[in-house]
Amino acid sequence: MIKDDHKKRKEKTAASAIKTYHFLTRKYGRELLLDIGRIESLKDFIIDDTPHNISFYEILFIEKGKGNFTLDENKMTIGPGTIIFTSPGQIRRWNVKQAASGYTLFFEKDFLNLFFMDDLFLYRFQFFHQYSSPTNMKIPMRIFREILKLVRGIEKEFNQLQNDSGHFLRAILYQMLVVLNRNYAATHHLQSNIYIHPDFFRFRSLLEKKYITHHHVATYAQILKISTNHLNKICRQYSGFSAQQMIHNKLISEIKRQLHSHRSIKEIVYQFEFSDPSNFNRFFKKMTGTTALEYRNSL
């Protein structure tokens, strides 16, 4: 992640614009859609209270440090053995009380999706695109150290890049994601099988693309060519939530992100295609217990 060359002014209001940082695909002279670095020493890595988001996937491995990391509305305590998963677009903010150290591993979706020829590949892991369960886990140090061996294997390969390094790095990353998924599922009591019902993954992927315009289960079921009962059944089986709850969780998460921006509430109402502001406010208050304006003023 690269900061602007000029000094960024900290905004006093919640309605300030959120900066998005993009992946540097040719940092190593050729396209390589994966990168790794030390949190405490990676050039221009943001580890302060400046709200920002990224357009790629990131996994943070915390070895030392104290404080909090906020991802959208989820504030999590950081400490040794903490692993944090970030999906594209989520608003991030650090509040470090004691200097954090560890690894950041980040990559573009195409690093895996194109190789496996599977647009749903990253939706198979429980920790990405998550709106209901936590986006972090703290695991026993014994397991954490075993996972760090894989992380350091990636770091070592970056220190001696070769023509076939992309395949080598992809293999380690795939192994790591499966190991992380098993531990995440065990920590949060979720399904760990990454090859569960394909309709569930198709729904999750479709929801990411259509949440602005499609707010009802029947619409998704029609596109997927399945019944609403079947869609609800597999959603409850693999996520613990109904399809409508998943839609609402996604929708409220994205609306909250927009409330961090400079856009007016009226603009947000019509962006998400609510019929009118009163309908929008009823939905927001039902989901959060507060109005959108009260939420924005509390930021």
> Which residues does 244 contact at the CB level (< 8 Å), separation at least 6?
216, 217, 232
> Which residues does 158 contact at the CB level (< 8 Å), separation at least 6?
28, 35, 36, 165, 169
| DSSP one-letter string for 35-55 | EEEETTTSTT---SS--EEES
Radius of gyration of the chain (CA): 20
pLDDT for position 263: 83
CA 80, CA 84: separation in Å to the nearest integer? 12
pLDDT for position 211: 92
Residue 69 β-bridge partners: 76, 94
Give me the numbers of helices (H) and strands (E) for the chain, helices first please: 10, 8
pLDDT for position 195: 64
CB atoms within 10 A of CB 81: 19
Whole-model pTM over 0.95: no
Span 198-298 CATH architecture? Orthogonal Bundle (1.10)
Query: What are the domain boundaries of the chain?
Result: 19-188, 198-298
CA 216, CA 118: separation in Å to the nearest integer? 26
Residue 187 contacts residue 248 (beta carbons within 8 Å): no
In degrees and rounded to multiples of 5, residue 222 shows phi and psi of -65, -45
Span 19-188 CATH architecture? Sandwich (2.60)
* pLDDT by 10s per residue, the chain, length 299: 434 333 333 333 444 567 889 998 888 887 899 999 999 999 888 888 888 899 999 999 999 999 999 988 788 999 999 999 999 888 899 999 999 999 999 999 999 987 887 777 888 888 988 777 789 999 999 999 999 999 999 999 999 999 999 999 999 999 999 999 999 989 988 766 666 688 988 898 899 889 999 999 999 999 999 999 999 999 988 787 899 999 998 898 889 888 887 789 999 999 999 988 999 999 999 999 999 998 888 87
